[in-house]
């Protein structure tokens, strides 16, 4: 599998920014990859949080039953901030896990008394606020009750212990990430995916950008890019502000203005994390690594 050159609108070849990916581990790495201290933490479809030692290749289980975990990110204090999708009997939540012991602290599990749907992805802004998407995929996939809230994007302020809805315009909000300075929020809408395995091309499969105000609210909603083939899932930005989004073909790389810059040919890519000069990609059955040739790629947001 290789990174292939793309053609621009007038036929020019776009610059290829990555080398060919290589498989570094065969493991059930599904979502929420987080690089920390020489290891990659990730969540599995079986409900665990695991740790891959990048030097030795050893895999260990941090939490065997993490309440159907999905997206995950690193908190300001070094803990793992995890989207718990919940089940028919356990509440969905956003929780913090100690990366050494697995000890859990519940952060939030409801909005104004109503249960969350099934939190999907999460990002922490530079001010410490926690932003996450909450689509109703858990109900569509049969492991969560009928939703009592909309498919919203939320902002949680741990200091004030306040959770607020910041956007309600998505069919299925999914991946979420900030620009390097935190002034722009990006989110993917995977509304084209309804029942498992589906792709309804007439429904949303795009990335949206927002300006984040000084008050921590969203404004100036605009379409950044439509992903094809398929709907976008994982979302990250690098230190130069480029946006990485998974699609059916692999990982697509966009400029802050929405131009398609490159495409990493890795069908099955779900999510990814930056680790020094490498991009680590989870594909459900393996972790892949790509060496990046620009230092601007190295900062994850």
Instruction: Order across the sheet with 49-53: list the strands.
Output: 31-36, 39-43, 49-53, 59-63
Tokens of 222: 């605009």
Task: Find the mean pLDDT for residues 274-296.
Answer: 86
Q: How far apart are CA 133 and CA 97, in angstroms?
A: 19
Predicted confidence band at 8 (pLDDT cuts at 50, 70, 90)? very low
Three-state DSSP at 28 gives coil
How far apart, in Å, are the Cα atoms of 42 and each of 112, 123, 215?
30, 15, 32
Tell me the mean pLDDT in the region 55-61. 97
Residues 109-116, mean pLDDT to the nearest whole number: 98
In the predicted model, is pLDDT for residue 221 greater than 80?
A: yes
Distance CA 248, CA 227 (A): 9
CA distance 220 to 186: 12
pLDDT of residue 141: 95
Tens of pLDDT along 156-207?
Answer: 999 999 999 999 999 999 999 999 999 999 999 998 888 888 888 888 899 9
Residue 129 DSSP SS3: coil
Confidence class for position 293, pLDDT limits 50, 70, 90: low
CA distances from 1 to 50, 110, 229, 253 (A): 26, 43, 17, 17
Supply the pTM of this predicted model: 0.91
Q: What is the pLDDT of residues 14-52, one digit of tens each?
A: 444 445 799 999 999 999 999 999 999 999 999 999 999
Mean per-residue pLDDT for 145-149? 98
For tokens 């990859």, the residue is 33
Report pLDDT digits (tens) over 66-103: 999 999 999 999 999 999 999 999 999 999 999 999 99
Question: Is the pLDDT reported for residue 116 higher than 70?
Answer: yes
Those residues with Cβ within 8 angstroms of residue 110's Cβ, 6 or more apart along the chain or in another chain? 91, 116, 163
Share of the chain above pLDDT 90, in %: 84
CATH architecture label of 3-297: 6 Propeller (2.120)
Cα Rg for the chain, rounded, in angstroms?
A: 18
- In the numeric block, the tokens 């290749």 are attached to 57
CB atoms within 10 A of CB 39: 21
Average pLDDT of the residues of the chain = 91
């Amino acid at each position: 599998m290789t990174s292939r050159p793309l053609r621009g609108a007038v036929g020019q070849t776009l610059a290829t920014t990555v080398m060919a990916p290589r498989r570094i581990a065969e493991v059930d790495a599904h979502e929420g990859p987080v690089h920390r201290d020489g290891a990659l933490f990730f969540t599995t479809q079986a409900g665990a949080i695991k740790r891959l030692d990048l030097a030795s290749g050893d895999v260990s289980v941090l939490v065997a039953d993490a309440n159907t975990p999905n997206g995950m990110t690193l908190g300001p204090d070094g803990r793992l901030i995890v989207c718990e999708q919940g089940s028919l009997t356990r509440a969905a939540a956003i929780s913090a896990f100690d990366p050494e012991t697995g000890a859990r602290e519940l952060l939030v599990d409801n909005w104004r008394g109503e249960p969350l749907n099934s939190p999907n992805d999460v990002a922490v802004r530079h001010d410490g606020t926690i932003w996450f998407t909450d689509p109703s995929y858990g109900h569509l996939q049969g492991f969560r009750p009928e939703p009592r809230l909309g498919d919203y994007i939320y902002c949680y302020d741990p200091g004030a212990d306040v959770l607020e809805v910041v956007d309600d315009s998505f069919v299925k909000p999914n991946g979420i990430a900030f620009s390097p300075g935190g002034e722009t929020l990006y989110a993917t809408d995977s509304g084209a995916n309804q029942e498992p395995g589906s792709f309804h091309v007439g429904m949303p499969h795009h990335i949206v950008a927002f300006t984040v105000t000084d008050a921590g609210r969203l404004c100036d909603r605009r379409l950044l890019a439509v992903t094809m083939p398929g709907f976008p899932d994982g979302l990250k930005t690098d230190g130069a502000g480029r946006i990485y989004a998974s699609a059916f073909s692999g990982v697509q790389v966009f400029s802050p203005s929405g131009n398609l810059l490159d495409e990493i040919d890795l069908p099955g890519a779900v999510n990814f994390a930056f680790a020094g000069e490498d991009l680590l990609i989870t594909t459900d059955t393996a972790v892949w690594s790509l060496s990046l040739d620009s230092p601007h790629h190295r900062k994850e947001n």
